[in-house]
Structure 1
């Protein structure tokens, strides 16, 4: 033991070199090596958590670990040189080592707490760092990072929606804000802007691709929180649109798995993500862009993708009807139904095909759209009370309700199917079996909504045909050609024909009166009315429909006598 020295009442004794030692510089280096190893092998997820902690954890860790290391090194040097320390029990050698070791352990435990035990979520304390880290990850666009970041965002869904401005609120804030120094209250409001920006940032198309593929739970959490908090005007519209686009593009996504319980078990029955995003009409209507997939993408979709898209739309349509909003104009649904209608615009390309036309994708898309219309009618029929509607719309009446929406879709289907005129077998399969039989056949819907829509459809068909009496045109000619093909040129008196008997009578009556005159004045339009197997004989004048040949039997001939063109002109 060295000599005790006192100065002004404060005594110092040399530090005992042989005293107890349990946390020195060598122990610090060993612990630091393990900590560095843990930090190095931590993946993207844990580095993101540490960088978004409420504390500036990286900077604090560097400062504390550096200070502990320097003090541990200095302590060992002090002991080795036996330099004097204050005499007394206020701070002993063991206590000093315990303090340094405890400080090091506390730093490590804080790191573990935020990385593993209680990761931070978006809050007022870390809003800026949180948004910065998400923004940088999306800018880097690393396929290894984005799925992890997407999954991490799911835990912050509640606070992101809670803090985020709604569009109208942000606009009002900017209008009321006065220039000058930022107040304390405005600094708090910045957190809301950070949340708003975060929701805009995650709308990145590449990020949405990874959300759909690797972390659909993130989209589920965001949309569930939006619905739960009734904040439908948060900026999730572009995010929702891109989720829809990527879900259709990825055939392994929820859009293909959440089908029916028969195929996919519990998820198929529950359909969590499908219901969260598409099953709330108020949410879809507020977001507006959920189904606004770029037209260039839609042009590349095949029948399976259109079927999936239609299934998602029907989920929203069901919510629209069940919520009682059917009397309100829905720009979202009217727009998306128009997009679905456009999927069959290329059907004319199979006209004249003679080889494996039944496997053509355009024909498959036709069946998908027909089924969509039928399913929409069934949803309407499931409602106890019908919505008010005007059965007959006058020309120039731009008001359209949900019944008009479906009837007009069915009319466009009829019009597109009418472009297939030959050969006879293909024409009949498309026009009658795939379209007309589904709309008016024995297994067609028969509820009150179905009767309203069928009435409107028959009216649309006849009105289009009757317009040719004033102005012969190729649209009316196509519709007339299909009507004569599927309805026939005479009534056979069967129950199967009952739903369209009045339409047949009206169409044939109009044809008798006008067709010969049109044939004389506009031969090309008149010829366009005739499908394969139907001929016009000017000598009669008459229309003759030649049936299909069955085995060795001669084909049947059905004749419709027409009023002479001269008689029509004289009247």
Structure 2
């Protein structure tokens, strides 16, 4: 009988956390996590999984000693070493935790350490399930269901409640400029899962701080493209370029998600043109996408090497992806905001000449050329922006050059040169016998 009971409680149905065993449960858990042995921690993660719902229920319940112990257990499993083991070997524990969380109990429970540390480990560790959920074509049933992604990022209400406790998994502790391409891809895919939940729950009219923070993380980890200036011949293998491409693809994917939701796609932003002060108020997804596009454009504009590489990055890797002849209201609204950010930045040089605005102007001139446009030209989608940029250049470039020569020189990229109040753009030779040139007379 003793052997049978031992086998039953040891292997078949181990005891779960409850009012009758909370003290020894906590003591054994503390000792094992304190040891830090990997094999032991894997066993702990496996044994605590069936009890996690009880732990959360007691920690959310009435006052008492059992509640205090459950509260401490939640803090204990936030141990960074333990979370790394859980993320790699026991994603089912993470799933159980998120399924047990509700909007009500999130405010009462100290889950910040667990959610942040498991999210960080799952993103950084290439062996975690997040890296292998992929899509159904590559990953089979797991790719269709995406159990871990949906548990962690698939409920926007939980994410925003966790964000109020600084515990959203989208706020994972990711150091700037250190993410590998696959890790950054996983983070962007996780953000897309959160945005899809945001749209499906008809929460898109309400500002989401969790998603807003995710956009900032994506921006911060994709705008160090200037490293290409030191290695232009092999730039496509650089981590900075690959992460930049992931961010550009993320922007396109968000636009596609918006287009698939009619209630959102038919929504007209309250104000297409916002003043600088208004941009910090009532920010919606249109604003977030347009601002990320602008920051990625500036990252591309920092490239100043040979004209073929400049064109490849400026046009093919950036501009061509954003302005890709998509005919939808969503794309129209976002591009309007994007163009306004571009023009406002260039116009800022009238009061305060600076290198950032100069780089944006140089990017535009490289893409548009220096010929005064007409509506019959290729590029009707951005005719208005092209027209005002060329007009501004004609009337302001010369005066800036007289007082701020270095700033004016920063505008000249991609085969554009200055001489005698003229800007000349020389295109690539291609199959022609002589390179095509455009000249712009300045005032």
TM-score (norm 1): 0.73
Matched, 1:254 2:132: no
Partner of 1:404: 287
Q: 1:483 aligns with which of 357, 364, 389?
A: 364
2:56 alignment partner, one of 150, 161, 166 = 161
- RMSD of aligned alpha carbons: 1.9
Q: Which residue is 1:472 aligned to?
A: 353
Alpha-carbon spacing, 1:410–1:145, altered in 2? closer, same or farther (3 Å): same
Contact 2:116 2:173 in 1 (8 A): no
SS in 1 for 2:439: strand
Does the 8 A contact of 1:352 with 1:422 survive in 2? no
Aligned residue number for residue 271 of structure 2 = 390
CA displacement at 1:492 relative to structure 2:
6.9
Cα distance, 1:496 vs. partner? 4.8
CA distance in 2, matches of 1:407, 1:314: 16
| Residue aligning to 1:332 | 210
1:299 to 169, 172, 177: 177
Q: Could you say what secondary structure the match of 1:355 adopts?
A: helix
Alignment of 1:312-391 (within 5 A): 312-351=190-229, 353-386=231-264, 387=267, 388-391=269-272
Q: Verify the 8 A CA contact 1:441 1:496 in the aligned structure 2.
A: no
| In the alignment, structure 1 residue 434 sits paired with structure 2 residue 317 | yes
Paired position in structure 2 for 1:509: 391
For the 8 Å contact 2:14–2:47, the answer to whether it is kept is: no
Report if aligned partners of 1:352, 1:423 keep a CA contact under 8 Å in 2: no
What per-residue deviation string (whole Å, max 9, x for no partner) do you get for residues 302-352 of structure 1?
122111111111111111122122222222221221111011232112126
Structure 2 residue 350 is the aligned partner of structure 1 residue 499 = no
Q: Distance in 2 between matches of 1:355 and 1:460?
A: 31
- 1:542 touches 1:560 (CA, 8 Å); kept in 2? yes
The equivalent of 2:155 in structure 1 is 280
Instruction: Tell me the distance in 1 between the aligned counterparts of 2:322 and 2:414.
Output: 23
After superposition, give the CA deviation of every residue in 1:359-411 in whole Å (9 maximum; x if it has no partner).
Answer: 22211111011111111111122221235432111122221222111111110
CA gap of 1:414–1:328, structure 2 versus 1, over 3 A, is: same
Length, aligned pairs only? 432
1:35-74 to structure 2, matched below 5 A, reads: none
The higher-RCO structure (CA 8 Å, 6+ apart) is 2
Equivalent residues in 2 for 1:171-210, closer than 5 Å? 189-210=64-85
What secondary structure does 2:105 align onto?
coil
String of CA shifts for 1:280-313, please: whole Å, max 9, x gaps.
11111112231223343x4321122111111111
| Residues 495 and 376 of structure 1: CA distance in aligned 2, closer, same or farther (over 3 Å) | farther
Distance 1:496 1:266, change over 3 A: farther
8 Å Cα contact 2:89-2:128 kept in structure 1? no
| Alignment-derived partner of residue 271 in structure 1 | 146
CA distance in 1, matches of 2:387, 2:308: 25
Q: Could you say if the C-alpha distance between residues 420 and 126 of structure 1 is closer, same or farther in structure 2, counting changes exceeding 3 Å? A: same
Larger deviation, residues 313-322 vs 522-531: 313-322
* Cα distance in 2 between the residues matched to 1:395 and 1:214: 48
Structure showing greater radius of gyration is 1
Alignment equivalent of 1:419, drawn from 302, 306, 311: 302
Question: In the alignment, which residue of structure 2 is the partner of 1:126?
Answer: 21
Q: Provide Cα deviations, 1:253-291, integer angstroms capped at 9, x if missing partner.
A: 111111101101000000011101110111111122312
Q: Aligned residue for 1:25?
A: none
> Does structure 1 conserve the Cα–Cα contact (< 8 Å) formed by 2:354 and 2:407?
yes
Distance in 1 of aligned mates of 2:398 and 2:195: 45
Query: Aligned equivalents of 1:230 and 1:377: distance in 2?
Result: 32
Specify which of 430, 433, 439 is matched with residue 553 of structure 1. Answer: 433
Give how far 1:551 is off.
Answer: 4.3
Rounded to whole Å, the distance in 1 between the matches of 2:396 and 2:230 is 28
| Equivalent residue in structure 2 for 1:138, among 27, 33, 36 | 33
Report the equivalent of 1:89.
none
Where do 5+ consecutive residues of structure 1 fail to align? 1-104, 167-172, 174-185, 564-571
Structure 2 Cα separation of the partners of residues 419 and 118 of structure 1: 61
Asked if the contact 2:416–2:425 (Cα under 8 Å) also holds between the matched residues in 1, the reply is: yes
2 CA distance for matches of 1:237 and 1:149?
20
- Per-residue deviation, 1:159: 0.9
What is residue 543 of structure 1 aligned with on the other side? Answer: 423
* Displacement of 1:493: 5.4
Measure, in 1, the Cα distance between the counterparts of 2:142 and 2:47.
Answer: 23
What is the alpha-carbon distance in structure 1 between the residues aligned to residue 259 and residue 291 of structure 2? 18
2: CA distance, partners of 1:249 / 1:342: 17
For structure 2, list consecutive stretches of 5 or more residues without a partner in the other structure. none
Find out whether 1:150 has 2:45 as its counterpart.
yes
- Please state how far the C-alpha of 1:157 moved relative to its aligned partner: 2.0
Q: Is the 8 A contact 1:213 1:250 kept in 2?
A: yes
Q: How many angstroms apart in 2 are the aligned matches of 1:116 and 1:470?
A: 74
Q: Distance in 2 between matches of 1:330 and 1:194?
A: 33
Counterparts of 2:218 and 2:430 in 1: how far apart (Å)? Answer: 38
